[in-house]
Structures are given as C-alpha cells and as structure tokens.
Amino acid sequence: MKGLFTALMVSYDEEGNINEKGLREIIRYNIDVNRVDGLYVNGSTGENFMISTEEKKEIFRITKDEVKDRVKLIAQVGSVNLKEAIELAKYATDLGYDALSAVTPFYYKFDFEEIKHYYNSIINAVNNKMIIYSIPFLTGVNMSVTQFEELFENEKIIGVKFTAGDFYLLERMRRAFPDKLIYAGFDEMLLSAAVLGVDGAIGSTFNVNGERARQIFELAQQGKIAEAREIQHVTNDLITDVLDNGLYQTLKEILKEKGVDAGYCRQPMKKLSDEKIGIAKSIARKYW
C-alpha cells in the first residue's frame, strides 16, 4: 500500500450527473499516463460531500470495474452520518477495495472519544483496513500523537492521510509509528514530507501532474534533494496557477486538453468563464 495515490477526480455532466465514460477515461489516464500506484476514491477531489450515497456507490463500482486489479484502491467512506459511513464501508469492501479511509467527523465539535468511536464503529463492521483522513484546516479536528496512538490500538487502523502543514507533528508521528502508513496530503509540500520519511502521498494534482510527483518522491528517497527541489518548484508554480484560476475546474480543463472527458464540477461549484477556460488551456500548454 506504499506509493503515490491519485485523489480521483470524477467527471460530471452539465446537470451534475455522473459521466461514466468520462470517469473511466480519468481512471485510465491516471493508470496509463500518470502511472500512479493507486487511486483514492470518493475523497474531496471527487466532490464527495456534494453527492448522494447511491452516487458514491456508483463511483466505487465504476472505478473497481475499470481498474480490476491493476492498481491499489482506497475507498474514502467518511461521513458525518455514521450509518452511511458503515454502509459505504461494507459496499466498498464487498467490491474488493484494498483499504478504507474516513475523514474525521466534522461540523459538530466532536470530542476525541466520539471520534474514536466513529473509527472503531466503521472498521469493526467490516473485514478491511482503515486509513484515517486527517485534514484539520477543513474539519477543525486536530489530534495529538497520543490520540493517534489510541486510534492505532485498533490493529485494523493501519495509517493516516496527513493533510496538514504541521511538520513537527509529522516528524513526531513518523518517529512514534514506524510501522504505520503515513501518506502526505499536501501536493505542494510533497518534498518536505518525503524527506521526513512518509510512505507515500495522496494528491489531487496527481490527476495531471503524477509524473512530476513521482520524480519528487523518488529523488527524495535517493537523497537527491537539490534535483527534487527543482521539480517541486515547477510543481508549486503549477499549483499556484491552478489555484488562482479555480482548483478543480482548472484541473478538469487541463485533463480535457489532454483528451480526457473530465466533464464539469457539481454545483454549487461554478463553471469557469470563457476567460478562465482560456487561462486553463494556457496552463496546460505552459507545463506540458
């Protein structure tokens, strides 16, 4: 389960329906061109928190059907609705997903005992493994090394997607949990995380920038930090341009420039203006 996982984008049509043909094209592009080690399905990048339970199941089904066993698959099943999370965990496990992941429960200010109950309830309901999805800047949930240690007492919880800029905490966790999987979650900080010894990374920009991500990660593992830093510079220039133009919409337009039917984003995300579509096309030409 080590390596680089794309946080999979989903193609939706202009009415917000799942575009199965486009989704399959995105999947194939990630496997055949980006050559990632796996896909992280139904995370933030897939616009997961704006779709129904049945739509989530459909995305899990299509992805597994297209991938077969070519790469590893992680199913993000987290939800504030614990019953939904368990239902999705069972569904993805039955499909044959290699591991589950779940975002920390958000919006309500859950205490740690409630968070611990949430994870144990999901993973104890299925015969699978769990990767915690920690993204404090969106969920407001900050956990300490001691709290992660409590979660890891459940042997089925095998790691964490660490989407935070607290590299002191990351270093402490790597030191404390050498046998747990730690994935970097911020693409713009991949090199810094790789230097601290993460086992891999899960990134949204890997949908278009997987090759550079691979170079950064492998060069860091080889100790070629100066070379990796130059590629991280280029990657961060790309990320800056994409963020300035609209993250998910721009990534989808870049995929379209590469011949992939990436579709549109779900409302309330807005469509790009003609001007911003032009900027997205220029970004594609600039970096590829």
Active-site choice (64, 72, 129, 161): 161
CA distance linking residue 132 with residue 135, whole number of Å:
10
| Residue found by looking up tokens 């044959």 in the block | 96
Q: What are phi and psi of 39, to 5 degrees?
A: -125, 140
CA distance linking residue 132 with residue 184, whole number of Å:
12
- Asked whether residue 187 is marked as a ligand-binding residue, the answer is yes
Element (DSSP H or E) covering residue 75: strand 72-76
Q: How many CA atoms lie within 13 A of 281 on its CB side?
A: 9
Name the nearest CA neighbour of 48 among 126, 101, 109: 101
- Asked whether residue 188 is marked as a ligand-binding residue, the answer is yes
Asked if 140 contacts 106 with a C-beta cutoff of 8 angstroms, the reply is: yes
Query: Ramachandran region of residue 111, left (φ > 0), alpha (ψ -120 to 50) or beta?
Result: beta
Active site (annotated) includes residue 168? no
- Asked whether residue 250 is marked as a ligand-binding residue, the answer is no
Residue ranges in 145-224 assigned as alpha helix (H): 145-152, 167-176, 190-195, 206-221
Active-site choice (12, 118, 119, 133): 133
Active site (annotated) includes residue 129? no
**What does the block give as tokens for 92?**
């993805």
- Asked whether residue 44 is marked as a ligand-binding residue, the answer is yes
Helix then strand count (H, E) for the chain reads: 12, 8
CA distance linking residue 276 with residue 249, whole number of Å:
9
| Residue found by looking up tokens 């597994």 in the block | 64
CA distance linking residue 230 with residue 212, whole number of Å:
10
Specify binding-site residues. Answer: 44-45, 163, 185, 187-188, 204
Residues acting as catalytic residues: 133, 161
Specify binding-site residues for aceneuramate. Answer: 44-45, 163, 185, 187-188, 204
